[in-house]
Amino acid sequence: MGIGNRGPSLGFLNSEYSGGMGMNVVGPAGEKLQAVDFALIEIQSRIRSDFNWDVADDYDSAEALADSASGLNCTNNAFNNLKDRFNNCSNVVILGAAVEPKDLYPFDNECLFVAADGSVGVFDELPDEDAKSAWQRLALVVSDADGGDATLKAASMSIPFALHAHGDNKKEWPKLLSILDTQCDLLLLTHQCPDEINGMVNPGGFTDGDRAACIVAACDVPISKITLLGFQSDFVGRWTGITDPVLKLRKLKWMDEVLQLLKGVA
C-alpha cells in the first residue's frame, strides 16, 4: 500500500479532471493558469467579508511582491514548468499543517509531494534515507512566508515555490523572496485579488493547504491522483506558523469549504 492510500483524498470523488469555467491569468511567458472553477475565486471575497479585511490591502501586498520579483528568471514560464513536473506522476501528496511522520508510510516511490508552508519540516523527522527520498520528490512548497525555519530551509534548496501575497504578510514575504531570488529555479507568484495582476496568478483558495490543492488541480493533475495528508479543521496543526488559535480555527473552516468546492467542480 503506497502513500496515496493513506489519509483523506480528493480522488475518490472523481476519476477525471474536468477543468471547469475558471479564471484565465497570463503569466510572464504567456502561459495561462485557469482556476478549476470561478467559485474558488469568488469565495475569497466572502472570506474577506467574514474577517472584515480590506481588499485594498491584498492589492497593496500583491502589487509590491510583483514589483519586487519583476525580472527574476525563476518566474519565467513558471506555470508551464510546474505542469511538466507533475506530468505522468502516479500521485501528488499534499502535506497540511497537521501532518506527522507516521502519515507518510509506506512510501510510494513514484509519488510527488507538495508542502503547505511549514509542513515541509516533517521530512526532517524521518529516518535519513527516507528524508532524502522525500526531499528529492518535493515538487512544490506553497507559502505565504510564515512557515518558519522549515520553509526557509526549503527555499535555500532550489525547490520550486508558490509565494503568496495577502494583506497581512507584506512584512513577511520580503525575507523569503530574498532567499528565493538567488536559490529558486521555479517561482510562481500568487495573489487573492479579484482582478488580474501582471506577473502573478490567482489559483483560488485561501489557506496555504487548500491553495496548494487548487494549484495542483489547475496543473491538470487528475483529481483522482491528489491525496491530502494532515488537513484538519478541528485543531491547529503543529506546523502552523505563529497564530491566534481561535482565529486559525475560523480560517480552517473556510479551508474546508474551499476543498469541498474543489471536490465538487474538479
Q: Which long-range contacts (CB under 8 A, 24 or more apart) does 51-60 make?
A: 51/250, 53/167, 53/168, 54/167, 55/167, 55/193, 55/194, 56/167, 57/166, 57/167, 57/168, 57/170, 58/165, 58/166, 58/167, 58/191, 58/192, 58/193, 59/193, 59/197, 60/167, 60/170
Band the pLDDT of 107: cuts 50, 70, 90.
low
Cα dihedral 231→237→238→241 (10° resolution)? 100
Least confident of 30-39, 85-94, 213-222: 30-39
Q: Could you tell me which of 162, 164, 158, 121 has the C-alpha nearest to residue 141?
A: 162
Q: Given the C-alpha cell 509542513, which residue does it identify?
A: 119
Which is higher by pLDDT, 222 or 124? 124
| Residue 130 Cα distances to 125, 135, 162, 214, angstroms | 10, 9, 24, 27
Band the pLDDT of 266: cuts 50, 70, 90.
low
Is the pLDDT at 4 greater than 70? The verdict is no
Is the pLDDT at 9 greater than 90? The verdict is no
CB 92 within 8 A of CB 214: no
Least confident of 5-19, 113-127, 141-155: 5-19
CB 193 within 8 A of CB 202: yes
Tell me, what's the pLDDT at 174? Answer: 97
Query: Beta strands 32-34 and 24-26: pairing type?
Result: antiparallel
CB 117 within 8 A of CB 239: yes
d(CA 49, CA 33): 26
The distance between the two most distant Cα atoms of the chain, rounded to a whole number of Å, is 48
Instruction: Give the mean pLDDT of 73-97.
Output: 92
Tell me, what's the pLDDT at 3? Answer: 38
Listed by start position, the domains of the chain span 3-265
CB 149 within 8 A of CB 139: no
